[in-house]
Amino acid sequence: MWSTRIFSRLARKKVFDPETEAEGVKLDRCLTLFDLTALGIGSTLGVGIYVLAGSVAKDVAGPSVVLSFLIAGIASSLSGLCYAELGARVPKAGSAYVYSYVTVGEGIAFVIGWNLILEYAIGTASVARGYSGYIDSLMNKSMATAFRSVLPIDVPFLSPYPDLCAFFITLLLTLVLCIGVKESTRFNNIFTCLNIFVVIFVTFCGFFKAKGSNWSLTPEDIPDNDKYGSGGFFPYGISGTLAGAATCFYGYVGFDTIATSGEEAQNPQKNIPLAIVLSLTFVFFAYFGISSALTLMLPYYLQDATAPLPHAFHETGWVFAGYVVTGGALFGLSTSLLGAMFPLPRVLYAMASDGLLFHWLSDIHTRYQTPFRATLVAGILAGFMAAMFELKNLVDMMSIGTLMAYTIVAVAVNVLRYVSTV
């Protein structure tokens, strides 16, 4: 029957032979353990570290935001271990797409593949939009004013104006990714190291201004008990800490970028799992340190939800540290942008190689050994979305895609363990 034939096509699985697949790899295996770890840290430790702690501490969890990051880190590590296991067993480009193809079947893989394409495109667009907004804020919103007056858009679900700055930022990154993965990761390594330096510097500066009493405030110390809770370490209760963990989980999104580099990693069976574990571990300590220093420097109800670190240093008299944070935010945005864009052409390449997208997207440039055409298509798609959609709408759409990808990877691990597919 036709229904049986359709089901068999949707349920057929990709056969993975490590020896045969290793011989057929077209991409350049040039990424070391350090490159992979820096890619994971850069993708995850973006500008969120300079925003999340303050907003969650002020309105949701109070000083217990440090536990919120711990809970979110534990939850993220469970997903990370799933990616680590599958990355070692199936070291192929494509991440969750190829994992679902090997374990669950073609139908689910096709859906997850398109889900990843939209997720990474939206992620790239959101970071590019944020990058453009940050640059514009340093220019007193002159770009937004000019674009709004010259090219207004009056459509409810679109941006009020086309953000051409975000579009060209995305195209510039596309060109960097086209010329070689080693060159682009070298750029990422430099900016990730600078971002790490800023995080360590800010944390130590914050602890110099720390006051233990800010973690044990009484209800009398708080100007508006109805709005800012009851003080102490849990001003909003345990429920606030758990709600904060749900928001903080967003700060760990990005480590899956490592898994997409399966065909470009040296010794992927060892380095991919290790890089995922190392990057998540470092990111947790970074979030824990920043949130601890921030809430010890300044009472949680006085935090600024949009720019907490510059505000806290300004309030404590260390204005110079606020300027360092500004530089760190630019470094973080740069690495986040590369980390968001890096996996997208690899997913297009993997799906095209399997015949689920146009075959010409699987072509590898003979000189640069990169999926050149897939990278160009990915850059144009992400650039268009960055120009035409608001940042908030982009972030909301990305969260749905991330949840679906993490869920299918967890399912794939169980199938891989209990059903002989690889």
Delimit the domains of the chain by residue range. Answer: 33-413
- The winner for highest mean pLDDT among 159-163, 345-349, 413-417 is 345-349
Report the percentage of the chain scoring pLDDT > 90.
1
Position 9 confidence tier, pLDDT thresholds 50, 70, 90: low
User: Distance from CA of residue 139 to its chain's centroid?
Assistant: 27
CB 313 within 8 A of CB 339: no
Scan for tokens 């144009």, then name that residue. 380
Report the percentage of the chain scoring pLDDT > 70.
87
* Of 261, 337, 291, 274, nearest in space to 73 by CA: 291
Position 400 confidence tier, pLDDT thresholds 50, 70, 90: low
pLDDT tens, residue by residue, 173-215 = 888 888 877 777 888 888 888 888 888 888 888 888 888 888 8
pLDDT score of 10: 55
pLDDT score of 23: 47
Q: CA dist 3 to 24, 106, 109, Å?
A: 34, 16, 19
Tell me which CATH code domain 33-413 carries.
1.20.1740.10
pTM: 0.81
pLDDT tens, residue by residue, 279-323 = 989 999 999 988 898 888 888 888 876 678 777 888 877 777 777
pLDDT score of 18: 53
pLDDT at 239 over 80: yes
pLDDT score of 101: 83
